[in-house]
Structure formats: structure tokens, C-alpha cells
Structure 1
């Protein structure tokens, strides 16, 4: 029996923030995958090693977590005053689909360095030494991101002493600014409320309602109080991910929140929209031991946040969810703002399972609607491997 040989595609494997993904330049993809559709999705799933009923992604580049089952496609920007168009695909681990509904904030930090080294940024804009602002058009959510990439001797500087909880080794700092991060036409609060009484089944919470802030900023996110679910906010991954009933409970909460936010038309649709919305629970500051053993002190943080991604508690914090946290914290009266002590603020430091992170956002009320000018946080990025991805020629 004849078998079709493998093909090879230029690709780069990068870490951005607390995520990893396979990066492609659009024109390097096979012609059938250069446009949206089934061929592209099948190719990216095969690259990552999905769908995998074993949930290990052994036969691909994925790492069997939401943080490592990611793909990025970049091209020269078609938007005025932008350098690069950035398309993000979150590959499901055990199901046959790629979710294109949102952005990856962590990998956004790697987009700038990749764009420079791939020749997608005008070389006249790159200093011999200094910082270049890479102007990114995030094609999934139609928003602008500015990635400040350090340059040394005309090349992207990747090494440095910036430490990021959730990443073992230090690297160069890459500040990332998310401009007007509200998803949609400025609809930061899709229900029109800072806090809703979200109706959920009684197996999620007794009484069938839970206080929730549902926000579209960075990525659609549902915030609830940890105490309302019987948690403290200091939980690490195993406390949630090792409890199937807890995971099912959070998924039910997520589905009902997605319906209330207008992201889906029926609860059944949530199963095919795993990437968005996120669901997170918050609590006032408290000391705890992070997953690395590092002690996080209560007086060094403003609040605690734990977030789920692709059905599991995240090991640190998704970059886009950090934008949502910063945005919600900056608006008085939200669940996040109240957990941080209330009042007006333009930055918060929050504790997550791997440590802590400081994020900032500026909010203003314009003609009765809340507007976030930008949200800012620092990440780091590094090329892990570059060369060619190989996939069977008949896989797409």
C-alpha cells in the first residue's frame, strides 16, 4: 500500500509569557491553508497533535495543556499604521476543532520579536540599539496591540533579567499594550451591568444565582467570588483539576455566562467554543504558597485570582484574562474591584497559582459607557526552536 510522504513547512516554536505556540508566516503555509477553512484547521490540528483521545498530544508539538496547544499565523499588515496582522488559533486537545474566537495575550509578546526576525517589520524602523514599537493588528478581535521589543546590535534581544512568575528562567522584558481592549464596539459590559445576578443550576451554587461581573476586555471573561463557590482563592491546579465535579461545575457556569453575554445562542454551543469566554474566581488578598513553593505575601498583592482555560485551572494567568482583570479592577463596583478593596485604581497586583502579576488599565466613563484606553503588562518571549514542521502530506 502506498503512503503519502510527509511535507515540511517553515515554522518557529516560541514561548511568549506563560504560553508556547507554533508560529507561521502566512505565505509559508501550503496554498490550501493560506485561507481560512477546513484545510487550515486540519493542518494546524495535525501540527499540534489533535484531536487526541489520550489528551497527551504525543504525535505533535502540543504540550497537552491550554497554554501549549496554540498556533499563530502572521503576515504583513493590511491595516494602515500597523506592521503585522496576527491571527491566533487555540487548538482543542481532544476534539477536532480550532477556536478562532479570541486572542492569546501571552503569545502577543512573541509576535513582535517574530515579526522583526521574519522581515515583517520595515527594517528602517529598527534601531541599532534601543526599543522598537511593533504595531500589531490582532485579527481575531480586530484590535491594536503595541509590543515594545528591545533591540541590541540590530537584533532582537531575548536574554535579560526580567522574571515572570510561571516561567522558570529570566529573559528580556517585553511591555505589551492592548489598545481599546473592549471586545466588540466598546461593549465592555454586554449586559449593561457591572454586576449581574447570573442564573445557574443549583448544582453550581445553592439558590441558583451567583453575583458575576461579565466583561469584554482583552477576552470575554466571567468573574465570580471564590467564596460563593466555596473556595478561598488560594487554590492551586490540583485542587480544581483533580476534581471532575468541580470542572463540570465551572463549565456549566461558563456556558450560562456565555449565553447571558450573547456569545452563544444555546447552552449546547459552549462545547464548541472552548477558548471564550474565560471564567475566573476572585478573593481579597491572602498569603499562600505558589506552585513553585514561593511564598506570596498578602500585603504584596491586591487580590487573588484563579482562572480556567479550556476547561482546566490555568497554571498562572492568561495574558488576555490579565487584561480583563486590570480593566475590571479599574472600574468601581465590579466583583474584581470590590475584591481588591474597592475605590478608583489604575493598576493591581494579583496572586495566581504560580505567583503574582502587576497589570494596569485606565478606565473612563464616556457618554454613559465605560471605555478602557489601554491595558498594559510586561511579559517576555524567546525562540525555542526554528526550522520546519513536518506533517503527513494527506493530513489536510
Structure 2
């Protein structure tokens, strides 16, 4: 394995990881609580509104393979500077509130987030090779915290400030600029050329373990983005106010924070992660069943169960990328494969649920799709939890 000429120590690398991570969900999730307002102002149908949540996930799939190539050419931190800048531009453009601006801005911010999604696991593998579980848990927790703030406070901020929904969404350019600044300050101290980042998935697509990791990543993401896109609308249609529906979504993300931290730490301490796969899936399944059978009976309980399961699942999925890769090069390649193909799978979720609702008029029936995805998630997670790695360490 190639040895770096200078691995930075101290808080610097961690600050970059955590600030970038905070930006990887918030700007996207902030749209969900105001989706009904967007539909009213734009005239979008339910399926078209679902497309706004599907587009970023498609961008994750389309732009993830580009990230390792860019990092190999320019260095990880430099590429993250550009990604955070592009994210801020996408947020600003989306807030212009026309149909075209919504779509174009959503695509731009989705592309920026895709780059960060791929490069953070490689950055953790490179700078924290002995603490993959801990650092993955920390950045997934911060990423989930951004999603929690977006889901739970968007409507509250809008009402307190008197801003329109575009004015409220534009506030998410601020953390993107902060993340850009942290990466920019960090760049001169790195010599990324000493750590190669492979240009693509290559031969990993012939590796069954890589496919199991990829499918687990994609299926848990399908469930998450379907939930984020449509659970507020499901609760709103069930008689809850927009604010209460948003708070329930925020609760789901909030209770996922400790789970997203604990799962990677536990995963890093075990040779195999089969028990974690089964445990996280059981929690998710219990929450989904409650929502499908009787959403108004115990909505807080359903969202707590779903939040714990999904928080643990995303932490576990990202941990598996680092744990199943032999070095930072293979981590980037596996990350690219898992997130490009995985998010392509996930992209169908919000659109498919919206289309089923259009046909049936029932959100509860639409959410049966997530239970089917959960069964496949368990099977793929079982394969991904095997104690072996893709690739071999390179000799210096």
C-alpha cells in the first residue's frame, strides 16, 4: 500500500470531514416539509413533486463515478472545495422558485452532494485508518443532524421569520459556504498526490461482495428517501398540520442520530456485522408496519422505530465501504460503485411511491414498496457482512 508523505494530525482533518458531512443531506431534506407549498405555487402534480426528491438521488448515481477521477487529478480537499461551492450555487438557484430553477438547482446541488458522498469514506480511510468505525459514526451523525434540523425546523423558521418557502430554503447556502471555507483552508497542508485514488469501480463489478455492499447501500437509501419525500404528506393527509408532520419527520431523523453513531462503532469492533443487519432491519420493519397498518395510532412510536432503524442502516452501509476495502484507493472505488449504482436504485423510490399514490389514492398502499425493499436489504446485508475485503493492499 502506498504510504503518504504527510498525514495530517490534530483536529484539522476531523473538522473538514464533519463540516462537509453536515451539508450532505440538509439542503435536500429541507424541501420535504414545504412540499405542499411548492405544489400549490408551481402546480406540480404529486408525481412531479416526487421527481424533485428523485432528481438529487439520480444525480448521486450519475456523478458518483466522477468523484474518484476528480480526486485523483486535483486532490480530495480541492475537489470538496468545489463541491461545496457548487452546492451553494444550487441552493441559490433552486430558491428562484420557478419550475426551471427548482429542477436546475436541484440537479446542481445533487451533483455536489454526490461528490461529497463518495469522497468522505475515502478521506476517512486515508486519514483515520485505525478509527474507521468511530469517524464514520461521527460524520454520519453530523450528516443526520443536518437532516434533522432541516426536517424539524424548516416550517418553524419560516413562520418565525415570515419568509416564503424559497427564502427559507436559501438559508442552506450558509453551511455550504462554511464547508467550502474549511476545505479551502485545509488544502494547502495536504499532499494528496501521495495517495492514489482509482478512477472507477473497474473490476469490482465482478466481485460479489462489492455487489452486496452496493445493494445494501441502495436499498436502505430507497427506504430513507421514500420516507423523507412522502411521510410528511402522508401525515398531513391523515389530519396532521404541516408543522406537526414536519416535526414527526424531524423526530425520525433526531432519534436516528445516536443509532447512526453507534452502528459504525459496533461494526468496527466485529469481524462480521450480520447481527447489526438483522437488528437495524427489524427496527425499520416495525416502524414501516405501524405506518402502513395504522399511521395515526402511535405516530411518535412509529417514527422512533423507523428513525433508529434507518439511522443505524446508513451508518452501517457507509461503514461497510471502509471495512470491506483493503485501502483508501479501494475505498474510493467501492464508494463510487456503491453510491452510483446504489443511489440509482434509491432514485426509483420517491417517484414510484408518488406514482402508486396517483393511481390508488392510498399512501399506505404505496409504502408497501418499502417493505419489499426491506426484505431485499436484509438479504444483501447478509452478504455484505462477511469477513473479507475487496482488493489487496498495494505495495509501496
TM superposition score normalised by structure 2:
0.28
TM superposition score normalised by structure 1:
0.28
Q: Which has the higher contact order (CA 8 A, sep 6+)?
A: 2
Name the structure with the higher helix share: 2
